[in-house]
Amino acid sequence: MTDGGPESTSTGRLLAIDHVQLAIPEGGEDLARGFYGGLLGLTEVAKPANLLGRGGCWFERGSIRLHLGIDQDFVPARKAHPAFLVDDLERMILRLEAGGVTIAEDEPLAGYRRCYVNDPFGNRIELMQRAQ
């Protein structure tokens, strides 16, 4: 740790979000793969060997890194949620609806169109597209 003096280059500030973790119930990996991989288009990546025994699965696409972890006392996140930017919200909605996902459209938010969906476990997910 530095003392923060004039020669210090460390500021102690947040830089970015490295990843978001959501909880899923035990045995939910295949449902998660269908939703996050199949419908949302994220790519599953290998978990580090030392974490394999915990279950769950990890996904990435560009700068998006989503970790799904097993929670023995799972309760879905119904209010707290990640918000993902999409390039074509209408196309995403059509794909999700074709996959049986219910869409909850919401009022635009300054500069964005958006909607909410629930993953197969009831976790809330916001999808946003910048208004043009």
User: How far apart, in whole angstroms, are the C-alpha atoms of residue 89 and residue 115?
Assistant: 8
Query: Please, what are the domains in the chain?
Result: 20-130 (3.10.180.10)
Q: Mean pLDDT over all residues of the chain?
A: 93
Indicate if the pLDDT at residue 49 is higher than 70.
yes
Percent pLDDT > 70 in the chain is 94
Q: Which residues pair with residue 125 across a beta bridge?
A: 117
| Residue, of 1 and 110, whose pLDDT is higher | 110
For 67, list phi and psi in degrees, rounded to 5. -110, 130
With beta carbons less than 8 A apart as the criterion, state whether 127 and 92 touch.
yes
Calculate mean pLDDT across residues 55-84: 97
pLDDT in tens, 93-109: 999 999 999 999 888 89
- Does pLDDT of 3 surpass 60? no
- pLDDT number for residue 6: 56
Count how many Cα atoms sit within 13 Å of the Cα of residue 54 in the half-sphere of its side chain.
16
- Identify the pLDDT of residue 119: 98
Q: Count of H helices and E strands in the chain?
A: 2, 8
Q: Which amino acid, residue 90? A: E
Please check the confidence at residue 52 and state whether its pLDDT lies above 90: yes
Looking at the DSSP bridge assignments, the partners of residue 126 are: 83, 116
Percent of the chain clearing pLDDT 90 (strictly above): 87
Q: What's the confidence (pLDDT) of residue 4?
A: 53
